[in-house]
Amino acid sequence: MTTPSSARPDFIQVDHFSFHYGEKQAIFEIDMHIPEHQVTALIGPSGCGKSTLLRNLNRMNDLIDGVRHEGDIRIGGTSLYDPSVEVISLRKRVGMVFQKYNPFAKSVYENVIFSLRVAGRSKKSELDATVEWALKSAALWDEVKDRLHDSAFGLSGGQQQRLCIARAIANQPEILLMDEPCAALDPLATLKIEELILELKHQFTIVIVTHNMEQATRCSDRTAFLYMGKLVEFGKTMQIFENPQNAATEGYISGHFS
């Protein structure tokens, strides 16, 4: 795998992190270091805490009432929970793509530059350049360049999801979180997104939650297997899938339970 030499191996540090939804504990003392400019896949059966972990990386879970956490998560050495960290500026550094494509009821153009708009940037040339760059990066430019000002709902499902990716990267974040980005897409659209992920990892650090084993093997460099809120195994994707150290991991990837 080609990794830029400057990449930090422990860019995101999850340090003894536990997380509770009210009475229910969803994550138990997870320790993992996610390297920069690589794709890290989180796999595991439903309810294992992988989405919870992902949504903690941009503090999306803060929106829910009655949550609390122990331990710490650091990005580039700074704790997310440091009182000086503003959640809004954190989310500008950590983009997110959701399971269901969710473009806004706006034009393609306005969808892409939404993050710039809310940041108060409105210089036309900058916005135009951002739209073109983000849509090209999301491999969507050629398909939509003639209808930038049409409603985003006119696009196909796969196009809408790529538009959401363009929207997430428009603000040039360092990290891109993807929560089952292909779950609502057909195989062809899925393939396109996977190609895109391989392309995007040169610019962003990507953490992806997936239920699809093949997807994890195809596009991730590292894989973490979570089970019942605990990190069971974490390592190079090849190693996890070909030579799992843990019986539960082996059981899951060979399809014995889901």
Partner 1 sequence: MKIPTTTSFATTGRSRKGEPWVWLTAAGLTFGVAMALGLFLLILIKGGSSFWPRRIDLLEVSQGSTVEKVAGYITQETQRRDAAGVLHEEIQVFRGNKDLNGEAFKFIDRSSIKSTSRPETLLLVERLEYGPAIVSAVALQTPAGRVPAGSSEFEKSLANILDQGEVAREKLLTIERGKIGAISRELTHLTRAEKSGTKDPQALSARRAGLQASFESLQLEAATIRRNLAESSFSGVTADGKEVTYPAGTLLDVFPSNRAGFFQRAGEMLHRMTKFLREDPREANTEGGVFPAIFGTVTMTLVMSLFVTPFGVVAAIYLREYAKQGTFVRMVRICVNNLAGVPSIVFGVFGLAFFVYFVGGGVDHWFFADQLPTPTYGTPGILWASLTLALLTLPVVIVATEEAISAVPRGVREAALACGASKWQTIQRIVLPASVPGILTGIILAMARGAGEVAPLMLVGVVKLAPTLPIDDIAPFIHPERKFMHLGFHIYDLGFQSPDAEAAKPIVYATALLLIVVVVSLNLTAILIRNRLKKRFAVSSF
Binding site for partner 1 (CB under 8 A): 58, 60, 63, 88-89, 91-92, 95-96, 98, 100-105, 114-115, 117-119, 151, 153, 160, 164, 167-168, 171
Shortest CB 92 distance to partner 1, Å: 4
Q: How far apart are alpha carbons 185 and 53 in whole angstroms?
A: 23
Q: Which residue number, 105 or 188, has a Cβ lying nearer to partner 1?
A: 105
CB of 89 to partner 1, least distance (A): 7
Q: How far apart are the C-alpha atoms of 102 and 105, rounded to whole Å?
A: 9
Which of 30/60 has CB closer to partner 1?
60
SS3 labels along 23-71 = CEEEEEEEEEEECCCCEEEEECCCCCCHHHHHHHCCCHHHHCCCEEEEE
Q: Which is nearer to partner 1, 88 or 188 (CB)?
A: 88
Q: In the bound complex, what is the minimum distance in angstroms from residue 45's beta carbon to partner 1?
A: 23
| Contact by Cβ (8 Å): 140, 162 | yes
Q: How far is the CB of 115 from partner 1 (least distance, A)?
A: 4
Q: How far is the CB of 17 from partner 1 (least distance, A)?
A: 20
User: Do β-strands 222-227 and 230-236 pair in parallel, antiparallel, or remain unpaired?
Assistant: antiparallel
The region that residue 44 occupies, defined by phi over 0 for left and psi between -120 and 50 for alpha, beta otherwise, is left
Largest Cα span, the chain:
56
Gap between the Cα atoms of 258 and 253, Å rounded = 9
Nearer to partner 1, 117 or 256 (CB): 117
Of 118 and 129, which has the nearer Cβ to partner 1? 118
